[in-house]
């Protein structure tokens, strides 16, 4: 009987395996099809998680060494941003010394993570997360009970969209990803004239390079998403600390009501990193202020504000308004304390200059212009390119009617140079009169610094942005206002709450506004949800839809360029016409950064024949032409195209060989 039972059991096992194998040979489970993609997604989440974990741990520890009186939540939020900035500096620093190789980045991040773990990094992180979670879990007032759920919905949708390939994020394909990818390709920095944007400040690109070194492209937008989350939570905490919990949740709702914010957070951009550093610097300036008659809590608050100013200057050139505003505030704050003025100013200025210096020193060494290509020009830059980039005289000018309509027009978004990432929503303008009233009413109240600091910075930034759009249409980009608008959310939320003071027995203006706001926010989140669902980001992240198919569907012109460039010989050099994006190109290419490559060459060489000869002399073998440039509608353009040999074409793009 035991032998018979054993044989029957073995036969039963074989029967089960045979039937299951036959079934799954025909009915292949989706889980098995997505297994490789699931592993890839988990690795992406691991890399972005390690970056955030290390940033928070080491940033919090650095803050502790400054001896500042900060509560655990402040240490977490400010420390995480500080740590991300440190990793960005380290990522760029490895490239600057010629160590931009994937194994180096992988080894450094893993070693840093191991060190964090053995030195009780999780405990450090928990010390800030626990009180933050407790604060967030406290229910808001009844009328705002839905606020945390809507905020979580916006964050979740943005997170899922960040997992998709960067087809929609134009500037990521243009330079935010192409620059760090070039570091890895070249093993470090090169004397590049291919893309002027190569020389822009690269703090956030220094963060993106970590994910690219692991082969995890989606880790880059997740870094930007992390900055967005830190920014919104910091503004929430600031409003909660300085004002009250209801105002804090209203501030959060105002932020997520901006249609472009959750969309922008899902892209490998830098705007929300800059917004965070501006908000952090302003927050630290506020923390340096007690009531007007008191001294600053600690002089090291000025030092920390300077560090955040320096990190902001490492993100974009346009951030120079922040250190100027911080210096102006310090001078005003210590105007009666001449003994403290100079040392405090140095505590602010020196860290700002030191932290910002790597990119400006690099530019000075490599191009002899610390702010290349602006102000002083440099190699590969001339008056033609300067005129094309600045588009001077193309703005609205000093037309009084247009200037008066500017606040309304910027909220509409239809005139923005980038429609999708320029929609700030209508509520900033709706609440603006209430904010002006509150600023006047509370000018002598104890919470005045919490209102005046972001208001002053917002005014300075708004005036600078307005001067830009007066001069150039290229600067009509509402997202350039994000660093100024986002810290103002608490003040505008206070204006929202003040509407109740206008309620009367005929109508309740606060209730009417609340209903309109909820409907508008619901529409915005629903539209964003549909936008996200239409792109099936998880399908691509899990490998069920190929990256090439995704680009072909949502960015066909770029997909055509990738495919056609891939058809050229391995040693080909391809000159682009009317295609500025170069990320992930399989050959060495010359992108058309300003969509003026041909006209610039014509300006330099004088004739189409000389242009072709110059390309050949420079070593280019092929030309890729995007038909949207309509080059064939001009006589020089037609003459140049006729001198080239067409090799392959799609509906959007043609690849030529230079004979």
Report the largest interatomic distance among the alpha carbons of the chain, rounded to a whole angstrom: 102
Secondary-structure breakdown of the chain: helix, strand, coil percentages, each rounded to the nearest 5: 70, 5, 25
The answer to whether residue 280 scores a pLDDT higher than 90 is yes
Cα–Cα dist 216/43, whole Å = 8
pLDDT of residue 119: 94
Burial 365-387, CB ≥16 within 10 A → b, else e:
ebbebbbbbbeebbeebeeebee
CA-nearest of 195, 191, 599, 571 to 381 is 195
For residue 57, give both structure tokens.
């741990």
pLDDT digits (tens, 9 = 90+) for 435-485: 999 999 988 887 788 889 999 999 999 999 999 888 888 788 888 999 999
Write the pLDDT tens digit of every residue in 363-397.
999 988 999 998 888 888 888 988 888 777 777 88
- Please give the torsion angle defined by the CA atoms of residues 70, 74, 80 and 86, in that order, rounded to the nearest 10 degrees: -40
Over 60: is that where the pLDDT of 656 sits? yes
First to last CA, the chain: 86
Find tokens 């770029």 and name the residue. 558
The token pair that represents 297 in the structure block = 């809590």
Q: In what order do the strands lie in the sheet with 588-590?
A: 588-590, 573-577, 622-626, 653-657, 645-649
Query: Cα separation of 120 and 205, whole Å?
Result: 29
Number of H helices, E strands in the chain: 30, 5
The pLDDT tens digits of the residues spanning 8-65 come to: 888 888 988 888 888 777 777 766 667 778 888 999 999 999 999 999 999 999 999 9
Q: State residue 382 phi and psi, 5-degree precision.
A: -145, 180
Question: What residue has token string 């309740």?
Answer: 508
Does residue 638 contact residue 632 with C-beta atoms inside 8 Å? yes
User: Which H/E stretch holds residue 625?
Assistant: strand 622-626
Burial of 595 (0-12, 13-18, 19+ CB in 10 A): middle
Please report where in the chains the tokens 């039963």 appear, as a residue: 12
Residue 443: the pLDDT is 85
The 10s digit of each residue's pLDDT in 51-66 is 999 999 999 999 999 8
The pLDDT of residue 293 is above 90: no
User: Could you identify the residue written with the tokens 């990320």?
Assistant: 583
DSSP per residue over 76-89, as a string?
HHHHHHHHHHHHHH
Burial of 126 (0-12, 13-18, 19+ CB in 10 A): middle
Calpha distance 151→275 (Å, rounded): 18
Per residue in 596-634, pLDDT tens? 999 999 999 999 999 999 999 999 999 999 999 999 999
d(CA 217, CA 210): 10
Q: Is the pLDDT of residue 410 over 90?
A: no
Q: Strands 622-626, 573-577: parallel, antiparallel or unpaired by DSSP?
A: parallel
For residues 641 and 623, give the distance between their C-alpha atoms in angstroms, rounded to a whole number.
10
Query: Do residues 354 and 310 touch, judged by C-beta distance below 8 A?
Result: yes
Q: Taking all residues of the chain, what is their mean pLDDT, rounded to a whole number? A: 91
């Amino acid at each position: 009987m035991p032998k018979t039972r054993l044989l029957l059991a073995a036969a039963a096992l074989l029967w089960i395996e045979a039937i299951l194998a036959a079934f799954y040979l025909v009915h292949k489970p989706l889980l098995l099809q997505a297994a490789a993609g699931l592993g890839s997604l988990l690795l992406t989440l691991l890399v972005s998680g390690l970056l955030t974990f290390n940033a928070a741990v080491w940033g919090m520890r650095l803050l502790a060494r400054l001896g500042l009186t900060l509560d655990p939540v402040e240490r977490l939020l400010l420390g995480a941003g500080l740590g991300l900035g440190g990793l960005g500096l380290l990522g760029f620093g490895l490239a600057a010394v010629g160590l931009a190789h994937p194994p180096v980045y992988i080894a450094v991040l893993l070693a840093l993570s191991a060190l964090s773990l053995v030195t009780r990094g999780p405990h450090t992180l928990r010390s800030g997360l626990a009180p933050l979670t407790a604060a967030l879990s406290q229910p808001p007032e009844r009328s705002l009970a839905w606020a945390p759920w809507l905020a979580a919905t916006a964050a979740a949708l943005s997170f899922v969209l960040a997992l998709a390939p960067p087809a929609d994020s134009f500037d990521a394909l243009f330079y935010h990803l192409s620059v760090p990818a070039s570091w890895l390709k070249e093993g470090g920095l090169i004397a590049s004239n291919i893309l002027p944007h190569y020389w822009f400040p690269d703090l956030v690109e220094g963060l993106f390079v970590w994910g690219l070194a692991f082969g995890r492209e989606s880790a880059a937008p997740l870094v930007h998403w992390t900055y967005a989350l830190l920014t919104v939570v910091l503004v929430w905490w600031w409003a909660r600390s300085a004002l009250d919990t209801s105002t804090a949740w209203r501030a959060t709702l105002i932020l997520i009501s901006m249609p472009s914010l959750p969309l922008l957070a899902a892209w490998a951009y830098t705007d929300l990193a800059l917004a965070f550093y501006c908000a952090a610097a302003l927050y630290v300036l506020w923390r340096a202020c007690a009531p007007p008659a008191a001294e600053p809590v600690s002089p090291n608050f000025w030092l920390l504000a300077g560090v955040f100013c320096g990190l902001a200057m490492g993100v974009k050139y346009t951030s120079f308004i922040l250190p100027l505003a911080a210096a102006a505030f310090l001078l005003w704050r210590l105007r009666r304390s001449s003994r403290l003025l100079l040392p405090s100013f140095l505590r602010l200025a020196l860290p700002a200059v030191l932290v910002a210096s790597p990119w400006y020193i690099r530019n000075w060494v490599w191009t002899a212009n610390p702010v290349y290509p602006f102000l002083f020009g440099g190699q590969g830059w001339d008056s033609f390119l300067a005129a094309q980039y600045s588009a001077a005289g193309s703005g609205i000018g000093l037309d009084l009617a247009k200037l008066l309509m500017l606040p309304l027009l910027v909220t509409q978004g239809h005139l923005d140079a980038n429609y999708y990432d320029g929609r700030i929503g209508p509520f900033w303008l709706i609440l603006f009169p209430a904010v002006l009233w509150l600023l006047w009413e509370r000018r002598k109240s104890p919470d005045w610094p919490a209102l005046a600091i972001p208001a002053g910075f917002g005014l300075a930034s708004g005036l600078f942005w307005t001067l830009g759009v007066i001069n150039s249409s290229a600067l009509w980009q509402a997202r350039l206002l994000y660093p100024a608008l986002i810290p103002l959310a608490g003040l505008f939320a206070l204006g929202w709450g003040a509407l109740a003071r206008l309620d009367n027995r005929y109508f309740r203006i606060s209730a009417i506004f609340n209903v309109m706001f909820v409907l508008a926010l619901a529409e915005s989140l629903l539209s964003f949800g549909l936008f996200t669902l239409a792109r099936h980001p998880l399908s691509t992240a899990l490998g069920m839809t190929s990256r090439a198919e995704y680009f072909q569907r949502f960015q066909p012109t770029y997909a055509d360029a990738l495919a056609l460039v891939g058809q050229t010989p391995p040693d080909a050099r391809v000159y682009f016409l009317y295609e500025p994006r170069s990320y992930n190109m399989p050959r060495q290419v010359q992108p058309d950064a300003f969509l003026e490559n041909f006209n610039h060459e014509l300006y330099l060489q004088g004739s189409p024949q000389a242009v072709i000869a110059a390309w050949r002399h420079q070593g280019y073998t092929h030309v890729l032409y995007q038909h949207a440039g309509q080059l064939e509608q001009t006589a020089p353009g037609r003459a140049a195209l006729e001198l080239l040999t067409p090799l392959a074409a799609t509906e959007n793009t043609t690849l030529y060989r230079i004979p």
